[in-house]
Every structure is written in C-alpha cells, then in structure tokens.
Amino acid sequence: MRISVIGCGYLGAVYAVSMASIGHEVLGLDVDRRRIDDLAQGVAPFHEPGFDRVLSESLDSGRLRFSTDYAEAARCEAHVICVGTPQQIDAAGADLTFVRAAVDSLLPHLDDDAVVLGRSTVPVGTAASLQERLRAAGARSPLAWNPEFLREGFAVKDTLHPDRLVYGLPEDPAQAARARAVLDEMYAPMLEAETPVVVGNYATAELVKVSANAFLATKISFINAVAEVCEATGADVSVIAEAIGLDDRIGPKFLRAGIGFGGGCLPKDIRAFMARAGELGVTEALGLLREVDNVNNRRRDHVVNMARKALGGSFTGKRVAVLGAAFKPDSDDTRQSPALYIASKISGRGADVVVTDPAANQRVHAERPNLAIAEDAFAAADGADLVLLLTEWAQFKELDPVALREVVGTPHMIDGRNVLDPAAWREAGWTYQSMGRP
C-alpha cells in the first residue's frame, strides 16, 4: 500500500520505517526540515535500539521516502496521523494544535478513496471532531482511530509485533468497512501472526490508549505507595512485588518501585485523561489518577531528601554523582525524567552535580547547562560525596562496587531503581540505601 505518515517524531518515524519494512511504500512527512533531511540520509534523530538498521534497510529498498511537501501525499491510500500531543503549557490537558494542523495540511491533497488513520494519543472526542473537520471541508475520506502502544527502547518490535491492534471505526457502515479493509491490508503480516484485533467506535479506541497508560502508571504508583509503607516499617518492597506478582491476576510487570515514572507519555497522559474527565463532568471517576501523580512526584522529592540527609543536612559545597538522566534505560529521552528532576533539584540547592548517561549526555548538556557532564560512571563519581543511581542502564547495574569505591570521596550510594545487590555493595564498604528496601 502507499501510506503517508504525518509527523516523524518518535512515533511517526518508527511507524514509517516499520511499515516500509513489511513491504509498504511509505512517505514520511514533517514540517521540521532538519529532521526530514536527517531521516532521508539514514540518521536517526533519537536513540532507539534497532531503529538505525531498519531505517537504512528501508531507505535502501526504495520503499521509504521523507519530505516536507504534503502535496506528495496525494497518491497515498492511507494517511496516518502520528504528530505529538504534548501537555499544554499552562494547563493539564493535551495540546491538539499539531493534530489539527496535520488534518488541515492534508485536506487539499486528500483523495475520497483514501483513508485517514489517527495514531496520536488524543483526548476522547478528538476523532469525532476531526471527522467533522473533514466533512466540513467537503472531504469524504473515512477516518479511523488506531492507537499505538509502543514503548521507547522496544519501539520497532512493539510496532511490528504488537500485543493487539485496536480499530476505532466510524459509525457509517460503508465508511467503517472501507477503513477496516485498509487497516487489515496494512497490518496483513500482523494478522497472519494472529495478533488479536479489538474493534470499537472512536471514543472506545481513544479511551483504550489512555486507559492502558493510566493503568500502567497506577501500577507503578501503587507499588511506590507500598514502598513508602515499607520505609516506615522495615519491609522489603521488592519481595512484596515478587510475591504479589506471582498471582497471575496481578502479574510481575510494572511493579518495580523506585523514583517513579517519567517520559513523554505516562505523566502527560494521566493529566490529560483527568482534564478531559473534568470537561465531561466526570471528574470523580478519575480522581485516583491525581493520587497516582502525587505518589509519583513524591518519590522524586523523597530521593532529594534522602540525599540531603546522606550529606549531613546540606548540599552546599558537596559533590554528587548522578548515574543516569534518561527517563529509562536504552533511551536518550529526558522528557519528565525523574533522574533529571532530581539532579537539577540537588544542583539548585547548592551541590556540585556531575551527571553521566550512556545516551543522553548531549541532551542534558543542551537542556541543563548548569549540570556538569562526565563520560562514564567512574569519571562522574571521581571524588563524590554521594552517588545516586537514577536510570537503570545495564552498565550501571554491572558496576563493580570495589572499583568504584576507589574513586569516590565517600562511599555512599542511593540506588533509586533498586537494581544493585545491597550485600555486595555493603561488603565493599559502601553505605547503601535503596527505595522501600531495608
């Protein structure tokens, strides 16, 4: 199929490359000329394992092109909206400017036979309003909502081998049939692999996405709330997570206590979900998400307090090494990163903070010029009064406590992700603290 992908950010670039890799002819569109030039030359705009290889293979195959000219989308049978929906600057709701702009830019080039698909994460009701926008402009193309569930770090795999496909179809039966036929053709290899397909209306499909992220966020904040109780009682949250996770109604995933969730999705999605519920007059239904957000924010501040106490009550003149800046390992994304929040807070209170991250150093340097950057953990920890492990990169998990002790000023480790072996670190002479573990 000929597919245009509108918006070549994380979601769109991965989607365009993945669709080309399964045989479709894909045009990636974006208003950012630099990003388009980079992608066209096979340069990945972000750190994502496996992405570079599929990008260059798809470009070499001749099935993948990138452009800033929407007119080139005219021949496509499907147009997929993948633009960002960030949190509004002055409110909790999602900013839909880019989604509306994508539809408006597409309109002059839209063929009646083509189908418009939405993959961006949007507040419930957005698809219906976009359908109105299309109709008001005289376009007869069907619109379907087809949310994505990819995780950074596994983005290509999640796109090509999803747990499920969700189709939010229009009410009109003929339009729904046309949209479904296009979706089925686009995802033929996934359907052959017996990927479950869940079909609903627009509102259902939109809510599937935000409900999934809200549930994941709730799971993390739940275990972090339990960690708070563990800290007051001497219980071990990781043993509790293991034990409750063995109940297959609960499951072991997303029960890692620590400094909480960040990234471009979970924090903004739960806030947008609450904001939308408020607009719909069902504020109370999602009141629990406010607590999910509160627990999450508390964990970051808790680490700042732990660090202050570890340093004898004041940050002034103290040297603190921060291992990790990305919101999670295998990513250079620092959006809403708890690690970067903690590093900045501690620096703001007078400590001399040195950050190191295997992928995000450049980004940190650009975004937080006040933070010193080191090449690796040993350079960051050189002479440190305190070391904080805040993103669980493999290279940090494998650190040798004996060797690291040689370079620090004071061997004090706060493990914000509960990934180090307490016994090994204590044996090597460290004061070791973690999150919700004795």
- Name the residues that contact ligand UGA, by CB under 6 A: 121, 148-152, 213, 216, 220, 254-256, 258, 260-263, 265-266, 327-328
Residue 103 CB, nearest approach to ligand UGA (Å):
20
Residue 142 CB, nearest approach to ligand UGA (Å):
24
Q: Output 117 or 134, the one with its CB closest to ligand UGA.
A: 117
Q: Output 413 or 435, the one with its CB closest to ligand UGA.
A: 435
Q: Output 306 or 408, the one with its CB closest to ligand UGA.
A: 306
For the annotated catalytic residues, the residue numbers are 265
Q: What is the dihedral of CA 317, 321, 326, 330, to 10 degrees?
A: 170
Residue 141 CB, nearest approach to ligand UGA (Å):
25
Q: What is the DSSP letter of 220?
A: H
Angle value at C-alpha 95, between 90 and 100, nearest 5 degrees: 145
Quick check: 123 and 94 in contact, CB under 8 A? yes
Q: Output 151 or 349, the one with its CB closest to ligand UGA.
A: 151
Q: What is the DSSP letter of 260?
A: -
Q: Output 271 or 328, the one with its CB closest to ligand UGA.
A: 328
Residue 155 CB, nearest approach to ligand UGA (Å):
8
Q: Output 51 or 430, the one with its CB closest to ligand UGA.
A: 51
Residue 331 CB, nearest approach to ligand UGA (Å):
7
Quick check: 60 and 98 in contact, CB under 8 A? no
Burial status of residue 48 (CB atoms within 10 A of its CB: 0-12, 13-18, 19 or more): buried
CB atoms within 10 A of CB 330: 19
371: nearest Cα among 395, 345, 389: 345
- The two tokens of residue 133 are 């926008």
In a 13 Å sphere around the CA of 234, the CA atoms on its Cβ side amount to 0
- The two tokens of residue 174 are 């003929």
Sequence-distant (6+) residues with CB within 8 A of 339 are 259, 262, 322, 324, 325, 326, 327, 357, 390, 391, 416
The Cα–Cα gap between 62 and 290 comes to: 48
Residue 138 CB, nearest approach to ligand UGA (Å):
33
Angle value at C-alpha 31, between 98 and 40, nearest 5 degrees: 130
The Cα–Cα gap between 416 and 56 comes to: 37
Residue 429 CB, nearest approach to ligand UGA (Å):
29
Q: Output 373 or 390, the one with its CB closest to ligand UGA.
A: 390
Q: Output 100 or 151, the one with its CB closest to ligand UGA.
A: 151
The Cα–Cα gap between 185 and 200 comes to: 18
Q: Sheet harboring 115-118: ordered strands across?
A: 64-67, 25-29, 2-6, 78-81, 115-118, 143-145, 165-168, 197-200
Rg of the chain, C-alpha, whole Å: 23
Q: Output 25 or 333, the one with its CB closest to ligand UGA.
A: 333
- The two tokens of residue 27 are 């045009």
Residue 261 CB, nearest approach to ligand UGA (Å):
3
Residue 32 CB, nearest approach to ligand UGA (Å):
19
Burial status of residue 381 (CB atoms within 10 A of its CB: 0-12, 13-18, 19 or more): buried
